[in-house]
Amino acid sequence: MSELKSNRVAGPSAANLISDIRAIFPLLPLPKKIAESYSGGPEGEQVDVIFAGKLWSDLSVESIREHYCDGPPYNALFHLCTEAWAYYLPVYLIASLEGDDEEDIAGVVIRGFFVPKRPDETCEQRGFDRVKILNESQNMLVLAYLLYFKDKSAEYTRDQIEYAIDAYWHQFATDKTAQE
């Protein structure tokens, strides 16, 4: 595996993270299933309309906002099944790094990286199931992303980031990310 551009001793930059995201997350295959559930409301059908058959690179938060009616566009992320969450995650990572409302999107994305300290904590099992399907390069990139936002976030979000890193993501640190 090649070294991530974002794993530089000086810390990751938004531009390097975006470049790494585009290089590390594949465009194909598209996920077969999109929504986690189709019961209890329109969210499943909405995320199907937004995401089904579309490459992650062809979507933006603005295009999601046009079709998602149940709150901010980043809420759609929570209604995706595990495979679709991992596939469409780059849309949200990039949007949080280059958008003008990056703090809101980043906060939601960061909460999606919470995993249980013990996999038997059922309230967070879904988060654990989701992150398990990411490959090593993607895991390293998530750690670099969390480190990028650690010093740029409000104290509450910074605490969430530290929890996420301590609970799970620390295992993907390289010598260079450990210095950050």
Task: Quote the pTM value.
Answer: 0.81
Bond preceding residue 116 cis, omega within 30 of 0: no
| Residue 15 token pair | 């531009």
Cα(160)–Cα(67) distance, integer angstroms: 30
Please state the length of the chain: 180
Q: Amino acid identity, residue 102?
A: E
pLDDT in tens, 114-129: 665 555 555 456 667 7
96: Cβ–Cβ under 8 A, 6 or more apart, which residues?
A: 102, 105, 106, 109, 149
For 85-96, give one letter per residue: b (16+ CB within 10 A) or e: bbbbbbbbbbbb
Pick the more confident residue, 107 or 54. 54
Q: Amino acid identity, residue 129?
A: D
Residue 163: pLDDT band (50, 70, 90) is confident
Cα(83)–Cα(51) distance, integer angstroms: 12
Domains of the chain, residue spans: 14-178
**Per-chain mean pLDDT for the chain:** 78
| Residue 154 token pair | 């409000």
pLDDT in the model for residue 15: 93
**SS3 of 170, please?**
helix
